Structure 1
Amino acid sequence: MKKALFIVLLSMFYIPFAQAQLGVKGGLNVAELTGREGESSSYKAFYHVGVFYQANIAGPLAIQPEVQYSVAGGNLKSAFTDYDSKLQYLTVPVLAKLTVGPVFVEAGPQFGILLSADQSGMMQVGLAPDGTPTYGNESRLATGSFKRNDFSVVGGVGLKLASGFSLGGRLVAGLNDVNDAKNLSGINDPRLQNRVFQFYAAFQFGGK
């Protein structure tokens, strides 16, 4: 995964500058963690910021690699638990972008590396002498409870505005299980996958 990220980042600088436009972007993440049985998931609001490099290929078609700091996670709740997870990623989407007039659509893969994670709220904190779970309200670092790599598919639409500005929205759907925790009885927890709706504003230097 790290090798693939390095190749993507390196390739961004081999596209002739005259054919490309650098830009900056940022906005809202509405994220949840899906897939855990016995707990209902709900969305939490986070954010993302990043830079991108739009390389024009032919006519309305372009390739757009990006580097983002992006926060995912969500709330999980059961009869005994109610806690939030906050996962901080370095993400690299590599998107094909098709522009027709002021409207564009974009899609492609995204690679992510987990930087840190934390959890807070009512969760399992131990086992009673008879083996039954005990619960408590706490905040804790949880980086070791999640896998370091995340792979997603991205799809979105947007609108180009004047002077290089644009607005857009995306769905980022995680494909792999990001859960790497064992519960306190030593059994692997069910799968968890990231799902993020992104709403962003972007500015391209030299854009018209």
Structure 2
Amino acid sequence: MKKISLVVLILATGATVFAQSPKFGLKAGLNISKLSNVPGLNWNNRLGLNAGALAHIHITPQLALQPEVVYSGQGAKYTINGEEHTLGLDYINIPLQLQYMFDNGFRLQTGPQLGFLVNTKDKVNGTDSQYFTSEDFKSTDVAWTFGLGYLTYSGLGIDGRYNLGLSNINKAGGNTLKNNVFQVGLFYMLDNSHKAQSR
């Protein structure tokens, strides 16, 4: 956690000293989420949505910082006592991406992410089971993100990202439980001048 905080501080300081004015955008997409394995439970993928806003801040023509605020529907599916449960963990995530931008519109990105758990629901056939509740999970989550994006001159882009959970979110027992989420979606830059200079 201390290492992540140091990275965030260094990146934020660099942005303050060297960066241009931020350009803003909106994003939305699909989550494929899963929890790391716990003995006795076989976790399967759960589909969810993500949506939020971003600020794109150039440090150099090729490097940029991109802080975001994103709602992210995460969790997993699992079967116990012959019943399939859908565990929904809703987060407000704040990723900070360091991006390297190629001239052809592609961009590589990586960086830390801090998440805040805002809702938990465990359902069987659409009915709350209360097998897991918010009391079973920690209120914060730390992850590291890796991704690839592509931005067109129109300002519309596509983004693929993997969020690797670093922190144990299990509050109820001794097993380690981590979020692992693949995200794919679209984003749109709102600033016309940025569209022309984006690549």
Which range, TM-score by smaller chain? 0.7 to 0.9
Runs of 4+ in 1 over 6 A off after TM superposition: 14-17
Scaled by the length of structure 2, the TM-score of the pair is: 0.82
Give 1:64's aligned residue: 66
| Contact 2:145 2:163 (8 Å CA) reproduced | yes
Give 1:139's aligned residue: 129
Give 2:114's aligned residue: 111
Once the 2 structures are TM-superposed, how far is the Cα of residue 108 of structure 1 from its aligned partner? 0.3
- Give the match's secondary structure for 1:162: coil
**Partner amino acid for 2:178?**
Q
Once the 2 structures are TM-superposed, how far is the Cα of residue 15 of structure 1 from its aligned partner? 8.4
Once the 2 structures are TM-superposed, how far is the Cα of residue 74 of structure 1 from its aligned partner? 0.7
* Paired positions, count: 182
Question: Of 147, 159, 181, which residue of structure 2 is paired with 1:196?
Answer: 181
Closer/same/farther in 2, CA of residues 81 and 180 from structure 1, 3 Å limit: farther
User: Radius of gyration: which is bigger?
Assistant: 1
The separation in 2 between residues aligned to 1:116 and 1:189, in whole angstroms, is: 22
Give 1:163's aligned residue: 154
Give the % identical residues.
26
The separation in 2 between residues aligned to 1:145 and 1:202, in whole angstroms, is: 34
As a proportion of its length, which structure holds more strand?
A: 1
Once the 2 structures are TM-superposed, how far is the Cα of residue 191 of structure 1 from its aligned partner? 1.7
The separation in 2 between residues aligned to 1:153 and 1:89, in whole angstroms, is: 15
| Contact 1:35 1:190 (8 Å CA) reproduced | no
1:151-203, CA deviations, whole angstroms, 9 ceiling, x for partnerless residues? 0000000111231110010000111111112xxxxxx2522111110001001
The separation in 1 between residues aligned to 2:150 and 2:24, in whole angstroms, is: 17
* RMSD between aligned residues: 2.6
- Give the match's secondary structure for 2:43: strand
The separation in 2 between residues aligned to 1:167 and 1:104, in whole angstroms, is: 10
Scaled by the length of structure 1, the TM-score of the pair is: 0.78
- Give the match's secondary structure for 2:179: strand
1:104-140, CA deviations, whole angstroms, 9 ceiling, x for partnerless residues? 0100000001011011239xxxxxxxxxxxxxx8523
Structure 2 spans left out of the alignment, 5+ residues: none
| Contact 2:111 2:146 (8 Å CA) reproduced | yes
| Contact 2:19 2:60 (8 Å CA) reproduced | no
